[in-house]
């Protein structure tokens, strides 16, 4: 049992893979994957793993914890091979036991396969039932194992044909990396809900959830995997199979608002630029009589800078973050509970005392953290606290690989803006509207999923038993 400090939606996974034609050392692929996962740590902190192929067999190391806790230098030394995939995971789907940590490695008719998945399938229950009637036995509770069993079911086909059939069967959101003994494959769901991009490093191909991971390992971003596309990388290079013609795109808009790193560019849009635009849009929509603009660091900072720039008010560092509280979950001792948000954030009295403060945050989920931060600011002397949120109210759960609270726990599903404002103790509360949000994206609104704000699920809702 853990106690959550943050009050945020949680991304559930990050994936990274590399195919090296001529590595200078037998462990280059594993080491590069380690650094790639390091760059994606914000996408999952509960477990990490790396699988490596040397052309004949696949070796795996995985464990519970952060990448640096799980993968030590002696593990990398043992992971010899020129192809690697890695995974970081934070998940409620399937629980957090080691057996559910990824990559998953399994044997099938044609050899060994490793799988790493970001996303969530919405028809897992039906697929599992179907596969069980054919005799499949499941060891984990993840939907990734359902994909593995489907692949095994189509093992008479080539890997590409088997994957093409799987893509028709599975519904929902997925960015999937698959490694056989001699190939690296990337697959993205037909609407491109979860991100997956392609890069090159010294002529070798890389696949990763975010371009920031490419930057970290010194690779160059080439492009995103297209919705419904399979990319196959082997010793002959990369080839693309457009298996499903996408009915529409539905990129997760929350990646831009909160999940992704600001230094990532996803589907052609730079995350930092989007966040600044959201802040500017908020300043145009809500002109508040105040002295300073502050952010809830770090995810609210780019929007706060945008708000300050557009409004002409000074941006100040009114809240300090303890950068060493990396884990979002802590042991729930009584003392820890009492410390709560103060473990992670502290208000700077010198900056906010006697001031009318505009505080920018990316989102409010349950409202409990916002309430504590507002109290914190008042305690050090803030005269007024106006809370401005760079996303519309989050009223609906996500079925596409994001851990949201249950609907009844989402404060915006049971309270209106005025009631939330009173609950968190703010002088005023303002959310960006749907129109304002889409205006800040500077793209066609029809290419995004925004279901957690509007309840319109582009790929359907999850079926339950
Ligand atoms: S419902 Fe929200 S969090 Fe989930 S994919 Fe859509 S925009 Fe992203």
> What does the block give as tokens for 188?
């993205």
Whole-structure pTM value: 0.94
In this structure, the answer to whether residues 198 and 347 fall within a common structural domain is: no
Taking the centre of ligand 1 as the mean of its atom positions, its distance from the CA of residue 277, in whole angstroms, is 20
pLDDT at position 178, please?
Answer: 97
Residue located nearest, by CA, to atom 8 of ligand 1: 252
pLDDT digits (tens, 9 = 90+) for 16-26: 999 999 889 99
Q: Which residues line ligand 1 (CB under 6 A)?
A: 9, 193, 252-254, 398, 400, 402, 449-452
Percent over 70 (pLDDT), the chain: 93
Would residue 237 count as lying in a domain? yes
Structural domain includes residue 222 = yes
Domain containing residue 415: CATH number: 3.40.50.2020
Question: What CATH number is associated with residue 182?
Answer: 3.60.20.10
Number of other residues whose CB lies within 10 A of the CB of residue 331: 9
Q: Which of 10, 252, 266, 456 to mutate to test the pocket of ligand 1 (most atoms within 8 A of CB)?
A: 252
For residues 141 and 184, which has the higher predicted lDDT (pLDDT)? 184
Please state the rounded mean pLDDT for residues 117-123: 91
| Average pLDDT, integer, range 160-174 | 92
For residue 456, count CB atoms less than 10 angstroms from its CB and return exposed for 0-12, middle for 13-18, buried for 19 or more.
Answer: exposed
pLDDT-wise least confident of 119-123, 131-135, 436-440: 131-135
* Residue 194 alpha carbon, nearest atom of ligand 1: 5
Q: Within this chain, do residues 236 and 329 fall inside the same structural domain, yes or no?
A: no
In-domain check, residue 294: yes
Distance 110 CA to ligand 1 centre (A): 36
pLDDT tens digits for range 311-362: 999 999 999 988 776 544 444 455 665 567 777 889 999 999 999 999 999 9
Domains: count for the chain: 2
Question: Do 170 and 303 belong to one domain?
Answer: no
Q: Is the pLDDT of residue 185 over 50?
A: yes
Domain check: are 183 and 149 in the same one?
A: yes
278 and 227 fall within a common domain: no
Distance 192 CA to ligand 1 centre (A): 12
Residue 260 inside a domain? The answer is no
Q: Residue 457 falls within a domain, yes or no?
A: no
Q: Whose CA is nearest to atom 2 of ligand 1?
A: 452
User: What number of residues does the chain have?
Assistant: 465
> Any bridge partners for residue 128, and if so which?
none
The catalytic residues are: 13
Least confident of 9-13, 41-45, 158-162, 196-200: 9-13
- Centre of ligand 1 to C-alpha 221, Å, is 24
What pLDDT is attached to residue 3?
A: 43
Query: Ligand 1 pocket test: which of 451, 453, 454 has the largest number of ligand atoms within 8 Å of its C-beta?
Result: 451
Pocket test for ligand 1, best of 171, 452, 456, 459 (most atoms within 8 A of CB): 452
Does residue 312 belong to any structural domain of this protein? Answer: yes
Residue numbers of the domain that contains 421: 273-443
Supply the pLDDT for residue 5.
54
> Do 191 and 100 fall into the same domain?
yes
H or E stretch covering 69? helix 67-70
- Per the CB < 8 A criterion, the answer to whether 147 and 166 are in contact is yes
What's the token pair of residue 368? 């409990």
Domain boundary, last residue among 231, 247, 263? 247
H or E, element range at 85: strand 83-89
By C-alpha distance, which of 463, 462, 367, 373 is closest to 409?
367
pLDDT in tens, 389-421: 999 999 999 999 887 767 778 999 999 999 999
Separation of 369 CA from ligand 1 center, angstroms?
21
- Closest atom of ligand 1 relative to the 458 alpha carbon: 6
Q: Do residues 160 and 213 both lie within one domain? A: yes
The per-residue pLDDT for range 240-276, each reduced to its tens digit, is: 999 888 889 999 999 999 999 999 999 999 999 999 9
Q: What is the pLDDT of residues 215-249, one digit of tens each?
A: 999 999 999 999 999 999 999 999 999 988 888 99
pLDDT at position 74 = 97
Whether residue 183 sits in one domain with residue 301: no
289 and 165 inside one domain: no
Are 346 and 225 within one domain?
Answer: no
Does residue 450 lie within any of the structural domains?
no
Cα distance between residue 424 and residue 408, in whole Å: 17
Where is pLDDT greater, at 288 or 125? 288
Which of 232, 247, 262 is the C-terminal boundary of a domain?
247
Q: Report if residue 256 sits inside a domain.
A: no
Ligand 1, residue 193: give the atom nearest the CA: 5
Three-state SS letters, 358-378: EEEECCCCCCHHHHHHHHHHH
User: How far does the centroid of ligand 1 lie from the alpha carbon of residue 267, in Å?
Assistant: 15
Rg (CA), the chain: 22
Q: What pLDDT, on the 0 to 100 scale, is given for residue 326?
A: 56
Q: Whose CA is nearest to atom 5 of ligand 1?
A: 252
DSSP sequence for 196-218: -EEEEETTEEEEES-HHHHHHHT
CA of 450 to the centre of ligand 1 (A): 6
Instruction: Check whether 9 has a pLDDT greater than 80.
Output: no
Q: Say whether both 407 and 368 belong to one domain.
A: yes
Q: Ligand 1 pocket test: which of 92, 402, 450, 458 has the largest number of ligand atoms within 8 Å of its C-beta?
A: 402
- From the CA of 451, give the closest atom in ligand 1: 1
Question: What is the spatial distance between Cα 348 and Cα 352, in angstroms, rounded to a whole number?
Answer: 6
Q: Which pLDDT band, with edges at 50, 70 and 90, does 110 fall under? A: confident
Mean pLDDT of the chain: 91
Residues 53 and 121 placed together within one structural domain of the fold:
yes
User: Which of the four pLDDT bands, split at 50, 70 and 90, describes residue 203?
Assistant: very high
């Amino acid at each position: 049992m853990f106690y959550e400090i943050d009050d945020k939606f949680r991304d559930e996974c990050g994936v990274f893979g590399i195919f090296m034609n001529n590595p200078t050392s037998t462990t280059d692929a594993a080491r590069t994957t380690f650094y790639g996962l390091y760059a994606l740590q914000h996408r999952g902190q509960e477990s990490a793993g790396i699988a490596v192929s040397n052309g004949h067999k696949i070796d795996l190391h995985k464990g519970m914890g952060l990448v640096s806790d799980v993968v030590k230098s002696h593990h990398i030394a043992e992971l010899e091979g020129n192809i690697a995939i890695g995974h970081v995971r934070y998940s409620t789907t399937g629980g957090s036991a080691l057996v559910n940590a990824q990559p998953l490695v399994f044997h099938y008719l044609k050899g060994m396969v490793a799988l790493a998945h970001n996303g969530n399938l919405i028809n897992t229950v039906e697929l599992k039932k179907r596969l069980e009637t054919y005799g499949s036995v499941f060891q984990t509770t993840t939907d990734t194992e359902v994909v593995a069993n489907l692949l095994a079911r189509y093992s008479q086909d080539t890997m590409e044909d088997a994957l093409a059939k799987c893509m028709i069967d599975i519904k929902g959101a997925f960015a999937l990396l698959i490694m056989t003994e001699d190939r690296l494959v990337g697959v993205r769901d037909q609407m491109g809900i979860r991100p997956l991009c392609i890069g090159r490093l010294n002529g070798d191909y890389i696949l990763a959830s975010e371009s920031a991971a490419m930057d970290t390992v010194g690779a160059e971003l080439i492009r995103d995997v297209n919705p419904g596309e399979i990319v196959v990388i082997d010793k002959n290079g990369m080839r693309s199979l457009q298996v499903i013609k996408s009915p529409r795109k539905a990129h997760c808009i929350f990646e831009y608002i909160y999940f992704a790193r600001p230094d990532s560019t996803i589907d052609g849009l730079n995350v930092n630029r989007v966040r600044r635009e959201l802040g500017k849009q908020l300043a145009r929509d809500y002109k508040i009589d105040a002295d300073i603009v502050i952010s809830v660091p770090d995810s609210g900072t780019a929007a706060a800078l945008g708000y300050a720039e557009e409004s002409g008010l000074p941006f100040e560092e009114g809240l300090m973050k303890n950068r060493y509280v990396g884990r979002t979950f802590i042991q729930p001792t009584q003392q820890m509970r009492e410390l709560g948000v103060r473990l992670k954030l502290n208000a700077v009295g010198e900056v906010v005392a006697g001031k009318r403060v505009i505080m920018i945050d990316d989102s409010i989920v349950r409202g409990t953290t916002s309430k504590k931060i507002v109290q914190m600011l008042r305690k050090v002397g803030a005269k007024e606290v106006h809370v401005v949120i760079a996303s519309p109210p989050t009223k609906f759960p996500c079925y596409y690989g994001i851990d949201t609270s249950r609907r009844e726990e989402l404060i915006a599903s049971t309270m209106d803006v005025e009631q939330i404002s009173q609950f968190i103790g703010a002088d005023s509360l303002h959310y960006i509207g749907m129109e304002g949000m889409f205006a800040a994206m500077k793209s066609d609104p029809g290419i995004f999923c925004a279901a957690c704000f509007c309840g319109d699920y582009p790929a359907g809702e999850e079926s339950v038993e």
